[in-house]
Amino acid sequence: MATVTATAPDTRTFAGTAWSWITTVDHKRIAVLYLVTSLAFFMLGGLEALLMRLQLATPEADVVSAERFTELFTMHGTTMVFLALMPLSAAFFNLLVPLMIGARDVAFPRLNALSYWIYLFGGIFMNISFVAGGAPNAGWFGYAPLTDTAFEATHAIDFWAFGLQILGVSSILASINFIVTIINMRAPGMTLNRMPMFVWMSMITAFLIIFAFPAITIGLVLLIFDRYIETSFFIPEGGGDPVLWQHLFWVFGHPEVYILILPAMGIVSEILPTYSRKPLFGYAVVAYSGAAIALVGFGVWTHHMFTVGLGPIADTAFAISTMAIAVPTGVKIFNWIATLYGGSISFKSPMLFAVGMVAMFIIGGLSGVMLGSPPIDSQVQDTYFVVAHLHYVLFGGTVFGLFAGIYHWFPKFTGRFMHDGWGKVHWLLMLIGFNLTFLPQHMLGIDGMPRRVHTYAADMGFDLWNMMSTVGSLMIGLSFLIFIINALRSIRHGEPSGGDPWDGGTLEWTIPSPPPVYNFAEIPVVDGRYPAWDIKRGGGHTGAVATAPEAGAEADEPDIHMPNPSYWPIVMAAGMVLAACGLIFHQAFILLGAMLFVISLVGWIEEPAG
Amino acid sequence: MTAEAHGHHEEHHSSTGLDNRKLGMWAFLGSETMFFGSLILVMLINKHNTLGGPGQEVLDLVLTSFTTFVLLTSSLAMVLSLAAFRNGSLLWGRIWLGMVMLMGLIFLGGQVYEFTEFVTHKHLTPSTNLFGASFYTLVGFHGAHVAIGVLWLGTVLAYTWRGRFQPGMDMWGIELVGLYWHFVDLVWVAIFTLIYLI
């Protein structure tokens, strides 16, 4: 195991290729794994949504039963948040952070692989529940006492609780990794204030994750105790308090919203300057407003609980902090618009998605400010108005932003363009479908249609809006199919892009596509916020010429030591998830999982990391 | 790869000058503060939630003061151990490391005794009331941290016979377990003060 060549699997055979992916510790390949897996879960979550929309298309329909509907909205929310959007953001962290800061890999490559495998197995574990006696059915927020054994005696909730614990481990490990990578592995000259905005937002997101996830972890521990060892933390009969669950959940849950949106904001902050051919307007303000959002984001959680009855003082305080958070958010939006102003804009598909993100996010932000007012919230709590709001933020904001990123960096992943024309079709269809789906839900909410109810009566005036919403959701589904076909086709037959197809300003565009395994033949020296532009046009912050890394064109590979591949991450992840299976199926799995964990831990320590 | 590639120190360069592993440990401990913060809050909320059953009065202040003293002293031994290894004294490094483990085990022994005593004589179990549930969760969670720390220390100690931490070598392996150990100690100061003393 001393050198790369000694352990490099033979990639000419299928088994060799599979083994090379299983043991990879290369951040770019892990990014691909994250991307593919999260898109698969995105499709699954989307199918769950389509089933719900089909059920709601007409009044008193019978497409799915009420019980199944409950499982669908629970798993749709859980899947989209934890298995689709967060890992899709993680795919971008993995691909871009080391490339953008001029590093050869992340700080802990094997830990990075471990995070991925835990995520994959955790996602599969949670979805096994569909065929193992019933899927989780208490909502993605799992409000007590619905999660108590008195109301759900099957293992549905256990799958959810253990699944979230497993995914939490993955997120925290990945975040520690990226915090250390960003703080400690920047290329010479890459000061914090010269980091690309995406790196800034990644760092802030990672800090949010390590500080927010522990709250839900503890909440879930207490829930598991309530279910397994007869404590009564959330059960009123035993002196417990269901509202405590809500606090623990939303102390995590609200920062989670920013965990989902900040990476997309970072992506948009890279794309808008590139296609406007101008630096980001107000760089420092955009970075610090991201930090302000994260900080204030820890102090707004009870706006999810305005109707719980915490009293006027608490409601007022949290209404004020909630509205205050609109300020740094608005600052970002104005800076994006100012970036576009006077630029020579080219509307390629990534740019269309980025502009779509800004526009849709504004609508979601505005309905968010409305919901931040307790009197309004009390009227529309638990109606489709809230569903509309959260989808404008998380679909209109996050999903549009992440797709912008996929179109923009696809050439960096693969060396080929995605088809721009079909990209624009995807964008247009998704934009129309999205608005057709969720704009009417504002009206439904104001008219009083409750969310999480599997049907409605015919004479409520809900028919038209619901039918529109269902048609729109089918359009979103179709647009996603177009995207998948476009992507699959472009991997093999797309137009070759070269290393720098968009005239990018950040370091990843100074190296070939796809990047060589060591990223940079020579670690670059950075002199400004857009080093690639400096190299191409001369001049940097100090006027000194930035060093261009060799484009890796040399005939002989440079002698750069990279970390060895390792199979311990996947073994360790398997051990953890097997142990969780043991708590549901049979105790023998706990022993087996623990053994795998210990063996892999020893193997991990003994293995030369390279 | 060649020895020259290893000798080339570019890859060990870090932007802050801090070792990656140490910075990662700090980030992890930051996360841990939120774990224990949440647990301590749950404990404080339920401190008097006894349903008329056994409550704070069952806590044995004398025994726990003693084990607290032992645990706090172990941090001193940890510091002395690292200093000894740095000064090239394997023997004293090992002795102090063993002392840290011993003191950790005494603390754990006190906790096992305490838990057994509560369950058998004071009739306080996790399902008796929420005081019990919160107490066992918080103190058990902390005890698990101490136990992991003892195992970790044992591993480090074993590695001193396998060619690690010899004079002149880097000591980050000991520094990491030290950081963790001091943190677990510090958390106990908060728990002892908030749960036992007031």
List, run by run, the mean pLDDT of 10-residue segments along chain A (610 residues).
47 85 94 97 97 96 94 96 97 96 94 96 95 90 91 90 96 97 95 96 97 97 94 93 96 96 97 96 96 94 94 95 94 96 94 97 95 94 96 97 97 94 97 97 96 93 96 97 97 92 94 92 90 80 46 55 89 94 89 94 82
Minimal-distance CA residue of chain A relative to B32:
A214
Closest chain B residue to A245, measured at CA:
B42
Residue A416, helix vs strand vs coil: strand
Residue A71 near residue A137, CB atoms below 8 Å? yes
Tell whether A222 and A258 lie within a shared domain. yes
In this predicted structure, the answer to whether residue B33 has a pLDDT above a threshold of 50 is yes
pLDDT digits (tens, 9 = 90+) for A265-291: 999 999 999 999 999 999 999 999 999
Residue A399's closest CA among A427, A418, A420?
A427
pLDDT score of A583: 87
- Sort out which chain A residues have CB atoms less than 8 A from B126's CB and list them: 225, 229-231
Note whether A179 and A286 are same-domain residues. yes
The 8-class DSSP code of residue A306 comes to: G
Write down the domain spans for chain B. Answer: 18-197
Enzyme catalytic residues of A: 76, 105, 140, 170-171, 254, 256, 258, 269, 303-304, 329, 332, 451
Q: Which residue from A minimizes the CA distance to B25? A: A176
Interchain CB distance below 8 Å, B1 and A240: no
Give the pLDDT of residue A409.
97
User: Which residues, in sequence order, are CB contacts of B27 under 8 Å at separation 6+?
Assistant: A175, A176, A179, A180, A210
Whether residue B4 has pLDDT greater than 50: no
Assigned domain for A307 exists: yes
Residues A477 and A409 in one domain: yes
Whether A411 and A527 share a structural domain: yes
All residues at 6 or more sequence positions from B48 whose CB lies less than 8 Å from its CB, including other chains? B55, B56, B131
Residue pair B23/B177 in contact (Cβ under 8 Å)? The answer is no
Range of the domain at A228: 26-550
Cα A1 to Cα A340, A466, A564, A609, A610, distances in angstroms: 52, 60, 7, 9, 9
Residues A255 and A298: beta-carbon distance below 8 Å: yes
User: Same structural domain for residues A239 and A289?
Assistant: yes
pLDDT at A153: 85
Query: How many independent structural domains does chain A possess?
Result: 2
Paired tokens of A540: 């940097």
Q: What is the pLDDT of residue A2?
A: 36
- Residue B127 has its nearest CB partner, among A212, A229, A560, at A229
Mean pLDDT over all residues of chain B? 91
Domain membership of residue A460 (yes or no) is yes
- What residues of A are in contact with residue B37 (Cβ under 8 Å)? 214
Residues A213 and A168 sit within 8 Å (Cβ to Cβ): yes
- CA of A393: how far to CAs of A41, A171, A358, A363, A399, in Å? 20, 22, 10, 8, 9
Residue A387 shares a structural domain with residue A521: yes
Residues A355 and A390 both lie in one domain: yes
A300 and A406, same domain (yes or no): yes
Which pair of tokens denotes residue A593?
A: 């999982």
A58 burial (CB, 10 Å; 0-12 / 13-18 / 19+) is middle
Beta bridge partners of A416: A496
d(CA B31, CA B37): 10
Helix/strand/coil for A450: strand
- Which residues in chain B touch residue A180, judged by CB atoms under 8 angstroms apart? 20, 23-24, 27
Mark whether A457 and A577 lie in a shared domain. Answer: no
Are A592 and A578 a contacting pair, CB within 8 Å?
yes
| Nearest alpha carbon to residue A353 among A406, A287, A277, A392 | A406
Do residue A364 and residue A453 come from a single domain?
yes
CA A329, CA A326: separation in Å to the nearest integer?
Answer: 5
C-alpha span between A287 and A265 (Å, rounded): 10
CATH number of the structural domain B18-197:
1.20.120.80
Q: What is the CA radius of gyration of chain B?
A: 20
In this structure, are A19 and A31 located in the same domain? no
Cβ atoms of A556 and A531 within 8 Å: the answer is no
pLDDT tens string A586-604: 888 999 999 999 999 999 9
Is B113 within 8 Å of chain A by CB?
no
Model confidence pLDDT, tens digit, residues A56-115: 999 999 999 999 999 999 999 999 999 999 999 999 999 999 999 999 999 999 999 999
**Residue A530: inside a domain:** yes
A558 domain-assigned: no
A388, two tokens: 């509309």
Same domain, A186 and A117: yes
| CATH code of the domain containing A205 | 1.20.210.10
Each residue's pLDDT tens digit, A168-177: 999 999 999 9
**pTM, to two decimals:** 0.93
Which residues are registered as beta bridge partners of A496?
A416
Which of A5, A7, A231, A525 is most worth mutating to test chain B (most B CB atoms within 10 A of its CB)? Answer: A231
Instruction: Evaluate whether residue A442 is within a structural domain.
Output: yes
* Residue A295, domain member (yes or no): yes
Pairwise CA distance, residues A365 & A373, whole Å: 13
